Each structure stands twice: as structure tokens, then as C-alpha cells.
Chain A
Amino acid sequence: MTFSIKKDAKGVVVVGVDGQLIVGNRQELKQKVLESLEGGSRKFVIDFSTTGYIDSSGLGVLVSLSKKIREQGGDLRLAGLNEDLQTLFELTKLDTLFTISKTPAEALAAF
């Protein structure tokens, strides 16, 4: 399974991405997050602690989801990026669009 979803006590949805977020599985992530959004969830953390690589389609789906969630008054935050993934976000300047925490626990505490 590529994605895991759990909700913490405060109602924050944490989505774990195992392996990669790329063109072949981005729709699955989009569908899972949008289902939670439609179900009333507004706070999301995408946990990349076990993610090896993300392609531009994966980056694109994060941008799209973030926009949709903000339109509903919510927030999508990122956590657990390794050094290479952090650099990818900086290169593409997407680090300016997202709140990025070192760990999922930090992201949850900041909500």
C-alpha cells in the first residue's frame, strides 16, 4: 500500500506516503485527501518520512490539493522530508507555498 491515512485526536488527517509520489499514484492520493475534505476534515499533514522520491506530477498534486483545502478554510502541511526532497521543494520554490515541518509530530503540534 502506498498511502496510509490516520486521524489524530484533534482531527488532523495524517497521510503517509510510502515509496514514491509520482505520476502513477498521484490520483490515489488526491482521491483520498478529497474524500476526507468532503467528509469535513480541514487540517492535513502529508508525511514523507518513508518517501524516496517525488516527481513533478507529485509536486503538482500537492499544489492542487493545498489550493482546494485553503478554499475550504483548511490547511495542508508537509513533514518528514529528507534532505534531497527538501532541496527539491527549495529548487522549485514550493517551500514558499507550504508550511514544512521536520517531523509529523512537529506539524501536528503546530496546528
Chain B
Amino acid sequence: MELLLRVPSDLSFVAEAVELVATHTPSGILSPRRVQFNLRTVLAEALANAITYGNREDPTKKVEVRVEARSAYIRVTVTDSGEGFDPSGVPDPTAPAGLEREDGRGLFVIRHLVDAVDFNAKGNAVCLTLRAG
């Protein structure tokens, strides 16, 4: 099963887009608990990053969400129209100096909640893989 969604670059659409994907993901691949928590959280993170930093909340631009559901995994690719970024340049948000910062935890959270995170060469598309179970 594949699903393609084009989300307006408006942060108020994030919750609705997350629910749409979560409720249309075939049951039986991920446990209900992982759909409830892992899938929803990482999709919200990826969409927020794409809308805020990629498309800079430009209403003329859309974020594309592509969901590929197979018996062995769910793969979600989120693509924006931005210039991309270098994921290796993100500091560790758990370091004492950064603990009281308001931002900077998104990629860290994503990496801990999925089985694989891959970026395209440009850095404007992130592919999140959750293996079955």
C-alpha cells in the first residue's frame, strides 16, 4: 500500500496530517502502541521541520508525505522545497549546555523512535523506516 499526501506549509495542519497517515496505515504491521507513539511523534517532527525550516512556512509551498506500507516495514518519506540541511551538524541536545534550550531535539527524538533515518543528498527529504513489530 502506498499513500501520498501534500500538506500545506502551515503548522496548524500537522496534527491533522499525522492523524490521516496514522489512521490510514494498514493494521498488523506495527503494534498499535508504535502507531500511537512512534509513528505519530516522528511524523509530527518531520513535518514541523519541513514546514518551518524547509519551506519557511511559505503558503505557496507544500510538503510531500509518501507512505510505503509493506509486511516487513512502514517507510515514510517527507520532502520539502527547501535548500536542505546537514544532519551531521546538529549538536547533542542532551549535553548539559543544551538541556534548557527550547529547540534542537527534533532529529534526536526521530533517531531514537525509528529503526532507520536516511536523508537524500540535498538534505530536503528524510526517509523514516519503522520495521514491523
Contact = CB atoms under 8 A, between A and B. Distances in A.
Interface of A: 19-20, 22-25, 52-57, 59-61, 63-64, 67, 84-85, 88, 91-94, 96-97
Contact of A20 (B40, B99, B100, B103): B40
Interface in B41-60: 41, 44-45, 48, 52
A60 B101 CA distance: 7
Q: Which label, helix, strand, loop or mixed, suits the secondary structure of the B interface?
A: helix
Interface residues of B, number: 29
A36 B22 CA distance: 35
Given A55-B45, A55-B106, A97-B99, A24 B11 contact: yes
Nearest to A55: B44
Interface in B67-108: 93-94, 99-106, 108
Interface of B: 11-15, 18, 33, 36-38, 40-41, 44-45, 48, 52, 93-94, 99-106, 108-109, 112
B1 to A, nearest CB: 23
Contacts of B100: 63, 67, 97
